[in-house]
Structure 1
Amino acid sequence: MGRLFTLRDEDFHAWTQEQATALRQAAESRINLPVDWENLAEEVEEMGGQLRTEIASALARIIEHLLKLEHSHAADPRRGWVNSVLEHRDRIALLLEDSPSLRRHMDDLLVRGWKHGRKYALRGLAQDEIGDKDLPALCPYRLDEVLDDGWWPENRHGLPPVEAIS
């Protein structure tokens, strides 16, 4: 039992997936206890799935604000976009620290994050008359860039680099 408690502390996502499998095996062995094994397994498994959703959502916000930093004509909201990117990068780092097995899902989560982040950015960039044709169809940012606190896209309209925002 000690290894399971250690796994839970070291990688919560991996623990949820392992526990869901164990619950399903217990159900197959027909242990005579009044437990709804399959639904319990699904709930535990979903706890791990929620972590993936949380990361995809944070990636969407990062991408939304990276696109706005790169494409917007507006200078005033940039500080807020920078702060949002930094906050969501930290959030992802903490989730990956608690559940390192999620790293193997990051490429797929970036694709999900791109889809939603691009949509959110388009809505916000409409005031700058930037539309669908003005943003790339595929994510132009590498995962390591998206997660790197020191990396920022250049603004296409000559606004100062993010490093100049105090």
Structure 2
Amino acid sequence: MSSTLYDTDYNQWIEQTAQQLRERKFDCVDWDNLIEEIEDMGKSQRRALESLLTRLLEHLLKLSYWREEKERSGNHWASEIVNFRYQIHKRLEESPSLNPKMESIYAEVFPVALKSVSKLFLLPSDARISLKQALDDDWFPES
């Protein structure tokens, strides 16, 4: 199998591909790798949302249910919640086609957040944070 520029110097491949596209030298473009990279860009946007939503849910669960630690860490968690919400909203503004996928992303990551937080303290069996609550800038768990 022969190595391509894509395999040996990724940054140079990007620069060269961009230049070829600018100059409309379409017959020179490494189409297979370019298509793969574009598809990966879309996947990375979804993965970023998955990660941000997981972290957001973890912090909301801590703020909601970890009474023993709340006095010491509650303000930090609240600050992180504001930051995660901002980042999620910003990504959804930049890629509005991800909005309809948020329910399925939530269904995928909420169990992960529950499992993660349950390693820190005992969660009640009915522990819940809805997607609507999680994304609502004005909603915080009651004290």
How far apart are residue 115 of structure 1 and its match? 2.5
1:101 and 2:97 are equivalent in the alignment: yes
Percent identical residues: 33
Q: Distance in 1 between matches of 2:112 and 2:80?
A: 16
1:147 and 2:135 are equivalent in the alignment: yes
How far apart are residue 36 of structure 1 and its match? 3.3
Q: Distance in 2 between matches of 1:57 and 1:135?
A: 24
Counterpart of 1:79 in structure 2 is 75
Counterpart of 1:11 in structure 2 is none
Question: What TM-score does the superposition give when structure 1 sets the normalisation length?
Answer: 0.63
Partner of 1:151: helix, strand, or coil?
Answer: coil
Trace 1:9-158 onto structure 2 (pairs within 5 A): 33-73=27-67, 74=69, 75-125=71-121, 130=122, 134-136=124-126, 140-154=128-142
Question: What TM-score does the superposition give when structure 2 sets the normalisation length?
Answer: 0.72
AA aligned opposite 1:68 = K
**C-alpha RMSD over aligned residues:** 1.9
Indicate if the aligned counterparts of 1:60 and 1:115 stay in contact, CA closer than 8 A: no
How far apart are residue 135 of structure 1 and its match? 4.0
Q: Distance in 2 between matches of 1:124 and 1:59?
A: 19
Q: Distance in 1 between matches of 2:131 and 2:79?
A: 19
Partner of 1:140: helix, strand, or coil?
Answer: coil
Q: Distance in 1 between matches of 2:84 and 2:133?
A: 13
Indicate if the aligned counterparts of 1:63 and 1:146 stay in contact, CA closer than 8 A: yes
Q: Distance in 1 between matches of 2:56 and 2:33?
A: 34
Q: Distance in 1 between matches of 2:90 and 2:58?
A: 20
1:37/1:70 Cα in 2 relative to 1: closer, same or farther (>3 Å)? same
Q: Distance in 2 between matches of 1:66 and 1:72?
A: 10
Q: Which has the higher helix share?
A: 2
Q: Mark the runs of 5 or more structure 2 residues left unpaired by the alignment.
A: 1-25
